Amino acid sequence: MQNISSTIHNQPNAPKSVGLFLCHKSARKRASAVGPEGYEMRQDGKSDKSLKRYYEIINKKFYFGELPSNVIVRWAEPGEEPDIASTDWAKNKRHSYVILLNREKVPTRSIKLSSLLHETIHVVTQKNDDHGEVFSEWHQKLMDRGAFKKGALIRGITLF
C-alpha cells in the first residue's frame, strides 16, 4: 500500500515548509466586544465531540498539556471557512481560540488530523507566527515527539 505521505509530497514544486497551503495569513481580527456574551457564544459555536477529542489527544501526547483546553474545535458552517482550516480568537470570554475545519477540503482522516496538528501550532504560538520560524520550530518539535510517525494518531497512517 502506498504511503499517504508520499502521495501528498509527490508534487513537483511543493514548498518544503508544511502546510503553507493550509491556511493563508488571516486578516480576521478579534471581534470587538459587541452584544451580550450569549450572542458571542453562539457565534463561536460548540466543539464537535470527535474533533475536540482529537485535540485533547494531541495536547496530551505531543504538547504534554501545554495547549489551552478552552478551545472550540469544530467543523465550519458552509461558506464560513474558505481554506482547509483556520485558527481564530474566540469572541466569547470563556474560550480562547476557535479552530475551524472545512469539511469540503478535508476529505480524509489523514488530512483532518494533519490540519488539526497544523492549527494547534497556531494555538501554541498564540497566532503570533504566521508560518514563520517559530512555527517551523514547533513543527519540528511535534515531529521529534512522534506526531508524524506512522500510527501516531490513526492506526497504520502516517501524517505529513
Q: Which residues lie near Zn ion (CB under 5 A)?
A: 22-23
Question: What DSSP string runs through 91-117?
Answer: SSSS-SEEEEE-GGG--SHHHHHHHHH
What is the nearest approach in angstroms of Zn ion to the Cβ of residue 139? 10
Pairing status of strand 71-75 against strand 85-89: unpaired
CB of 130 to Zn ion, least distance (A): 7
Q: State which residue, 23 or 72, has the beta carbon closest to Zn ion.
A: 23
User: CA 99 to CA 90: how far, in whole Å?
Assistant: 9
Nearer to Zn ion, 23 or 124 (CB): 23
Residue 72 three-state SS: strand
Would you say 30 or 94 has its CB closer to Zn ion?
A: 30
Spatial separation of the C-alpha atoms in residues 144 and 155, rounded to whole Å: 19
Q: How far is the CB of 147 from Zn ion (least distance, A)?
A: 16
Amino acid identity, residue 135? F
Whole-number minimum distance, CB 22 to Zn ion, in Å?
Answer: 5
Residue nearest to Zn ion (CB): 23
Nearer CB in complex with Zn ion: 25/155? 25
CA distance 144 to 138: 10
